[in-house]
Structure 1
Amino acid sequence: MADTATTASAAAASAANTSTDAPPFQLGKPRFQQTSFYGRFRHFLDIIDPRTLFVTERRLREAVQLLEDYKHGTLRPGVTNEQLWSAQKIKQAILHPDTNEKIFMPFRMSGYIPFGTPIVVGLLLPNQTLASTVFWQWLNQSHNACVNYANRNATKPSPASKFIQGYLGAVISAVSIAVGLNVLVQKANKFTPATRLLVQRFVPFPAVGPAGDGADASGPPHAHPGAPPDRHVHAGEIETSQLEPEIARATSSRTVVYNKGL
């Protein structure tokens, strides 16, 4: 039985290896080498590629079926590595790896730029009022929290209270810092109008930074010892020998899978 499965997998790999423009396909593995900066850069470009937002339902079904055929050794002749990598990219961009359900479009990583950029622009708008400052900080933290939750590790259910606690902590922290810094800048009599305007432009950055720790409370854990490398669409794999000693001692696994974050 094992020999039959091995033969079928070898035949599938041989059929897929007809393309010279793409590396040999590996199910659940990154297409680009993660040992170099350029490889990791190309990997993240694939993750945030907004073109996957326009994939049709039919194309998604075809991609999923192609990967299933490869997995079971029933791949039709003539399928290239490029087609397999493209199918995996589509599936990982749209379907949650644990629930196999479609992720709501604004909360996909491929939607982070088109849906997140208007929020960033709003955060950096000049001469903001108290109401606009609160609104944009709330919207930013809400979007971040929803992205974290939509892409969470669903194999270990977390109570809703943890998500709510992290979300409220992030919003309150961001709004408090932004409003507080704006008030301090306005009261700084030694600043010229030009300097005051310049300093106000940088207020969103310290407000968003600390609040991100609270928003991450709603997201997935950062490491899953022993989990398969395709556990999470934004996960990376690393040898435990490369980790800090206290972390390496916490697991007997040779490798761990970690969340690369947003």
Structure 2
Amino acid sequence: MKLTHKLCGAALLAAVGMAVAIPNSVKAAPGAAPAAGMDIQFTANTGDGTTNTITDGDGSGEGTVTSGLVTTDAGTFGVRAITPLKFGSDNSSASGTGRHFFAKNFVANDGEGSTDQIIAPNYVEFVDDRSELDHKYEITAQITSELNTTVGTENTVKKLDGATLQFLNGRVKSETDVTDALTPKEAVATTAVTSKESTVILNHVDAAKGRGRFKMLFGTYAAEGDTNSEKSVKLNIKDETELFQDTNYQGEITWSMNVLP
């Protein structure tokens, strides 16, 4: 941000210098008055906090999300909100090949007695509102804590070693521009997300686009077939991994947004 402020200051000084150099009295064309000056100055963007909305077409309804999201005030650049992944309790522990499980839809405002519950695809919301000419960036994901549980009287920790996540049917939607003109058009990757290193999910390389606030949604709510949002976040578990019943596995995934050179 320091570099941004310096560039803005230099541009403003150059404009002021030009204004001083123009004589006070300028001969105008016949029938026209002399050209009048213009002046404008832009303040630094501060972002718009963590206010989050689901708009029509994102899920079962529309409205403001007041609970359920993991949020942060990203200011003018960064990941603003992510839906926690919930795979539910109706998953078979049977061994076999190709074991995988799908995350349930995100349920917002799900408190006791709630009257404004909204169901939507899992998503990541991010923002780039920097005063820059170049808006290239990448969004990455990494499993930063493998799914694990405690078993037995000694609370032995058992991990789902080597489990991976895949984010399928990804699409990016603008939250600020109804024309979608600035929306990143690059493909949302389905590469497996692991605990070993960060995986690039969105590689946005068009410097002229990408400014604004966006949602990266996975799947479509109530869609038929494999594009359904409940078929779009996939947990893959190794065939040989032992799964313990009636116990809750917990882990963490970290999303990051980084400027591209």
TM-score, normalization by structure 1: 0.23
Question: Larger helix proportion, structure 1 or 2?
Answer: 1
Question: Larger strand proportion, structure 1 or 2?
Answer: 2
TM-score, normalization by structure 2: 0.23
